[in-house]
Amino acid sequence: MTTPSEPGEGPLDPSLSAIMSERRQLINLAYRLLGSLADAEDVVQETYARWYAMSREQQEAIESPCGWLTTVASRICLDVLGSARARRESYVGAWIPEPLPDHTEWINRQLSSTTVDPADRVTLDESVNMAFLVVLESMTPAERVAFILHDVFRYSFAEVAEIVGRTPAACRQLASSARRRIRTSQDRSATPAAQRADIVRNFKQAWEAQDIDALVGLLAPDARGIADGGGLVSAELHPIDGGEQIARILVDLVRQAPDLTLLERSVNGQPGLVAQQDGVTAVVMAFDVVGDRITRIWAVRNPEKLRPWTTG
């Protein structure tokens, strides 16, 4: 593939579609590696900045610009992942990956006075559902990069080794370790998509009706609720354990905010809910469903993570 040309220079690209395709690939890679669209956008911007810092001769000497960009973006992500662990130790409350809406609901956002390009949209599949991203957070940076590059983006271990600076055998072990983490977290019967949607819909209706018994019936006894306010808005700082406890807190929230509107929305490709006040998105909720019960609820309130869901 090729890259966009610098303003004022002759085009380096045979077509605009090639540019769009490459940028989307990098955004998709960086989001899966970092769990943050904002950080992914920064990584891609830095990657292109490094490309343009080279002379035309240096650029033309690179056999595969696409491979070069992927390598640079992945290495930047490795550095970001290393520093992110330290940042998250000082993060107020729980840190939840940034939730993404369905493409049909993706709102054009204004960043640096520029409307976000459709190429910045992340492809929503099983590798970005919230449960999957949360498991990725438990991995070491090297495990995460090796696993995503090989298992999701189908890079060979030889290519992964060149990117992360380890041997192919070491990268194979990293990916294997990551797979074990995934299997351990997902060692359970899958719930069909239609059934998940029905359960989330029933949950919404029970919540609106303030029906604690119905909510408890939809939640697993050992369900856990996690909220992310980032210290910018009020949110539970610690996980809420137990279906009954979660149900009572949710009903209290509705009673305290009678103007709350609940909407069924796709969150990272899975059935979820959005809570709005005065037409503004205040909370985005993702769910993990096992069998016929909800086992996890992730509620993102941090306004910095709700940009794709808000107008303005």
What are the CA-CA distances from residue 148 to residues 31, 34, 141, 176, 202 (Å)? Answer: 11, 11, 11, 12, 34
Q: What angle (nearest 5°) sits at the alpha carbon of residue 301, between those of residues 218 and 105?
A: 80
Tell me what percent of the residues of the chain surpass a pLDDT of 90. 61
Which stretches of the chain are assigned E, i.e. beta strand?
A: 110-111, 114-115, 219-228, 240-241, 261-267, 270-277, 280-290, 293-300
pLDDT tens digit sequence for 268-312: 999 999 999 988 999 999 999 999 999 999 999 999 999 888 854
The values of phi and psi at residue 248, to 5°, are: -65, -40
pTM of the model: 0.85
Residues 17-39 pLDDT 10s: 444 468 889 999 999 999 999 99
What stretches of 203-279 adopt beta strand conformation (E)?
Answer: 219-228, 240-241, 261-267, 270-277
Spatial distance between the Cα atoms of 233 and 54, rounded to a whole number of angstroms? 43
